[in-house]
Amino acid sequence: MLVTGNDILVPARAGKYGVGSFNTNNMEITQAIIHTAEKLRSPVMVQMSEGAIKYGGQDLANIVKDIAERATVPVALHLDHGSSYASALKAIKMGFTSIMIDASHHPFEENVHETRRVVEAAHAMGISVESELGRLGGIEEHIVVDEKDAFLTDPEEAVRFIEQTGTDYLAIAIGTSHGAYKGKGRPYIDHERIEKIASLTSIPLVAHGSSGVPAEIVQRFRDSGGEIGDAAGIADEDLQRATGHGIAKVNVDTDLRLAMTVGVREVLKASPKEFDPRKIFGPARDVMAQVIEHKLRVLGSVGKA
């Protein structure tokens, strides 16, 4: 069933498990996410960035809503990295049930102002809101944040931000970054910071940049003709520690991008004569389902629906 982000995340924080929030850009990705969640009796969030909305529009949003409404587990449709009040309102009009307003690259007061506007509008429509404080490294869809500008979330500031905005859940910068290159080897996750923020707050916390970039998928990507550098993602153990301390929503995009591409490349390489789209995108859907299954097990949301 299609529900709001709060419906899914408030129990997750209380239950000390994480809920995967997976980015989608087409039907097969959406099916892999929701069908795998149903198979494992897990709540799940499907998110679309502004780029995905540009790419698939209401067509894609309707596919997600329709599969979510018929699903036998709770599913929210979430706007990922909403960049403005207007973008948030448009997504609500499209039927999104959870909205991120990401104004974290602005100074604190401006971030508060922007976030509070969206919270008031979204709450009037019964929609829950994610906002962000602190700055991840890596590439956020609409801005490049290089290391020197990335800054981790200050716990006391987080308390003030939540009080002043009324945000329902909060994305915090704790060492993760977007994309396939999260740092040399195992990216450093500031668990003390997570645990401090969790001890001072009671709303669900969000970890962006939480793809694991599994070595097996990276190897298959290379073996099937893909080119990728020394990619590294967040370690399963780091995610498990974090979900035990306030992190309730865990954003994953890169892993699905890699998995889908591996599926397609492997078919095209093995069967050069193949041109049936079902034979090309079907196996890609299966690789994504395997990656999603692993993530749901790591996050501990299996059986929670």
Ligand X SMILES: O=C(COP(=O)(O)O)NO
Residues that bind ligand X (CB under 6 A): 23, 80-81, 178-179, 208-211, 251-255
CB of 104 to Ca ion, least distance (A): 4
CB of 143 to Ca ion, least distance (A): 7
Q: Nearer to Ca ion by C-beta: 102 or 238?
A: 102
CB of 258 to ligand X, least distance (A): 9
Nearest to Ca ion by Cβ — which residue?
A: 104
304 binds, among ligand X, Zn ion, Na ion, none (CB under 5 to 8 A by kind): none
Q: Which of 6, 104, 176, 261 binds Ca ion (CB under 5 A)?
A: 104
Length of the chain: 305
* Binding-site positions for Zn(2+): 81, 102, 132, 178, 208
Q: Nearer to Ca ion by C-beta: 176 or 243?
A: 176
Per CB under 5 A, the segment of 96-104, 183-191, 220-228, 258-266 that binds Ca ion is 96-104
Q: Nearer to Zn ion by C-beta: 208 or 285?
A: 208
Q: Nearer to ligand X by C-beta: 23 or 201?
A: 23
- For residue 49, list its beta bridge partners: 80
Q: Which of residues 115-154 bind Ca ion (CB under 5 A)?
A: 132
Residues that bind Na ion (CB under 5 A): 80, 100
28 binds, among Na ion, Ca ion, ligand X, none (CB under 5 to 8 A by kind): none
d(CA 10, CA 2) in angstroms, rounded, equals: 16
Phi, psi of 100, deg, nearest 5: -100, 130
DSSP state letters, the chain? -B--HHHHHHHHHHHT--EEEEE-SSHHHHHHHHHHHHHTT--EEEEEEHHHHHHHHHHHHHHHHHHHHH-SS-EEEEEEEE-SHHHHHHHHHHT-SEEEE--TTS-HHHHHHHHHHHHHHHHHTT-EEEEEESB-BEEETTEEE-TTT-BPPPHHHHHHHHHHH--SEEEE-SS-BSSSB-SSSSPP--HHHHHHHHHH--S-EEE-S-----HHHHHHHHHTT----S-B---HHHHHHHHTTTEEEEEE-HHHHHHHHHHHHHHHHH-TT---HHHHHHHHHHHHHHHHHHHHHHHT-TT--
CB of 257 to ligand X, least distance (A): 8
CB of 233 to ligand X, least distance (A): 6
Q: Nearer to Na ion by C-beta: 22 or 281?
A: 22
Q: Nearer to Na ion by C-beta: 39 or 141?
A: 141
111 binds, among Zn ion, ligand X, Na ion, none (CB under 5 to 8 A by kind): none
CB of 130 to Na ion, least distance (A): 5
d(CA 10, CA 12) in angstroms, rounded, equals: 5
Is residue 223 part of the annotated active site? The answer reads no
| Residue 208 near Zn ion by CB under 5 A | yes
Buried b / exposed e over 215-239, threshold 16 CB at 10 Å, is eebbebbeebeeeeeebbbbeeebb
* Binding-site positions for dihydroxyacetone phosphate: 179, 209-211, 251-254
Q: Which of 50, 102, 154, 266 binds Ca ion (CB under 5 A)?
A: 102
Query: Which one is catalytic: 80, 154, 168, 255?
Result: 80
Catalytic residues: 80
Interacting residues with Zn ion (CB under 5 A)? 208, 251
